[in-house]
Amino acid sequence: MKTLVTVVTIFISASLLVTGCGCSEVKAAPQELATATQKIVNEVKEQDNSVFEEIQKNIDMVNELKSDIENSKESDKQKLLNNVVNDLEKVTESYEDLSGKREEIRKTLLRKIEAIEDLQGRVQKETARLNELRNDYSTTLKTFNDPDPEIVRTRKAALTQTIQYVDMQLQLWSEFYSTEKQIRSETAVVQQRIDSFLSVIESSAMLFREGLNLLKLQRDINDALSLFTQDLPKMEQLSRDMEQSWSHLDTLVNTLTSMSIDISHN
């Protein structure tokens, strides 16, 4: 039974250490995967976080299973193994499903890069348009007149605030333009991280499937060997108990049959 718990613990611990194939230094996968995911979220700003949420759910489940195994007081190790197998089946199928959607996930993640490139192409055009618009608003602010002073006041107040908003747009475009070179260099890095991220998903699908197969094999072997480890000892105990009950039966029979029934009447 100790071997069973060891096998389960080793697999879960190993699954938590996956960072990709061929790494010379193993690091904690849940933390690395979460960090890599967060970097991609920050750099690509992907709209639909369902992929990240599903992966985080898988990581949390494995972490919880590891903790449960280490702290479990369950005496029935086979029951414990069955529970682990059931939960890991869900995690494995999740990773396999995500791995099968690799290209779909890649396209979704790269969509934001396309949005960045689109913004880069609009910098000069939008800056020119906003400068022209600002000049028009400024001219109107200086020349606007109306017989009604209240109309003049409200219009000029609106124009002043409108110009402020235009200036803020120009500032944003200016800041975006100033980081354009950095954005262009980081785009290639982001694509590499997306590839690495998808590779870890594929590696996880492979690892969890074979680890799950290992635990299922352990479960099946335990079930087969239970004839010797559980069934035979139980049969021997029950045989002794049944044989002992014979004497109890004999006592009952003798006691009850020796009782006389008094049918006389006073």
Hey, what amino acid is at 48?
D
pLDDT at 36 over 60: no
Helix pair 29-44, 180-226: axis angle to 10 deg: 150
CA 124 – CA 129 distance, rounded (Å): 9
- How far are the Cα atoms of 176, 216, 259 from residue 210, in angstroms, in the given order? 47, 10, 70
Q: What pLDDT is attached to residue 94?
A: 94
How many percent of the chain have pLDDT more than 90? Answer: 33
Tokens (6 digits) for 225: 């060997």
- According to the per-residue pLDDT averaged within each range, which of 29-38, 70-79, 124-133, 223-232 is highest? 124-133
pLDDT at 240 over 60: yes
CA 64 – CA 195 distance, rounded (Å): 28
- What are 38-90's pLDDT values in tens digits? 454 455 444 457 888 899 999 999 999 888 888 887 777 788 888 899 999 99
